[in-house]
Amino acid sequence: MTTPFCLGHPSHTLLPEESICRICGALAAHTVIGVYEVQKLLGTGKSGYAYLAQHQRSGQPVALKLFPPQAAQTELWEAARREVRIATSLRHPSILSVFSCNTWSPEQKMSSSGIQDRYQTLSNMYLLTLCQYIPGSLKHFVTYLQQAENQRALREHGTSVKALLLHVLQQIGSAVQAAHARGIVHGALLPGNILFTSYERAWVADFGLGRLQPPPAPYLPPELYAAAQASQQGNFQAYWNMANPASDQYMFAVLCQQLFSQTLHSTDYEPFLPVLNRAMHLKPERRYPALSLLVQDLLTLSTQASGIRPAQSPRPAPGNQGNQKNYPLTPPASLPPVNPRGPAGNSGSGGPRSSGVTPLPAFASGPLTPALPATPLTPTMSLTAEDWEKRGDKLFTMHDYEEALKAYHRAVEVNWNNAHTWLALGDTYFALERHKEALMAYEQAMYLNPNDAQIWLNRGAILDVLGRHQEALDCYERADQLQSA
């Protein structure tokens, strides 16, 4: 008899009757759940584990996600299951299909028809989802775009990295907007939830499930910081209730900013920064009324900058999703090459289409979405981020912390990507004894510049105030390492 072993890292042997490892919580290899056999671990996250599983008869691969028991979180599972069903019923071409979302226990006897939907003891009950398996990740997509030969092939094909990026972002934005229209908030628009079947075909995963856990910085919007803190203390309902379309918009804008900075020259994406800064405004009411307007402005700016109309995502007829042509995406070394001979189309012999970029209808561009009326925080005068930061520094030295806070907020609004400004913002919150906001600002600064000893020192100080002394000691130790390097 073969000795069972778990799929965690590092893998280790299990007792014959164990299907879930008591040490790391990973499933045993070849565990059978319903009609699916677990093959390998795909990844881990704050919520649980994701596995590749295979239908025992047809061989169909699926992604299996397992959310471990948490008494506070199980109360939300029924609400999450309802949202999963609604999101799947939209049949949107960029929303990942979920086949099943039910509760499961390792001792539960499974029927050949699937997972039984019945509750046992909550201490041993898991939330288990089966969804369409998509092999490509956002990391694969970015790596593909960063390769010079692929950039050259795209140019020869009559398109560009920027146009392809906007095409993909339009798909993601369309999926999220469609969910918002049905009252569903994603809550975790992270790189791990963006998947690809080809370099021009994106999917958004975890609708209905993303809100079970807050995202990390820099994706966490400022207005949800208190709710994220509450979830760390076991109150998951707080984040579930407070996540909203404006917070999804903030995460989407952060995702856009990271994609642009990783794949485009600064001169190519700088025109987009005012749009992204508006979408990442610290005050939710100052963001776009809807995410679709943010996408519209990105596309309009691209048209104005290049004179080339961005591609529009194809929208198949309802019910025909399964008939779409998708070019498979595997790790970068074996991604399908762009057809160097010209636009994709007939091969000349009546054969199948080549794997080049599909020509898509032009997008009707228009004027930018009008800005919201100016407020005292956002005066109509045009100042640079450096101007606002200098004004904040002067006000801070005068101990006018409230006005300094407004100036630093404006500096961040103009240029979100400056770690020194976030550090100053954190110091101001600290001076006002708004400790949770100070920690949020320091963490944003640390994300932007993880090698600044002063940021680590200040973060340690605020953690000490909040009573998180061991974390504070870790920060001080890291600061010492950076100062002595």
Reading the block at residue 226, the tokens are 């208190």
Q: What values do phi and psi take at 195, rounded to 5?
A: -120, 160
**Span between the terminal Cα atoms of the chain, in Å:** 54
Over its C-alpha atoms, the chain yields an Rg (Å, rounded) of: 24
- 65 annotated to a ligand binding site: yes
* Total Cβ atoms within 10 A of residue 216: 13
Query: How far is the C-alpha of 146 from the C-alpha of 132, rounded, in Å?
Result: 28
Residue 60 Cα to chain centre, angstroms: 27
Cα angle for residues 411, 414, 416 (degrees, 5° grid): 80
Q: Are 370 and 175 in contact (CB under 8 A)?
A: no
Closest listed residue to residue 180, CA positions, set 282, 52, 92: 92
Handedness of CA 287, 290, 296, 298 (dihedral sign): positive
Q: Which residues are annotated as a binding site?
A: 65
Q: Which residues are annotated as a binding site for ATP?
A: 65
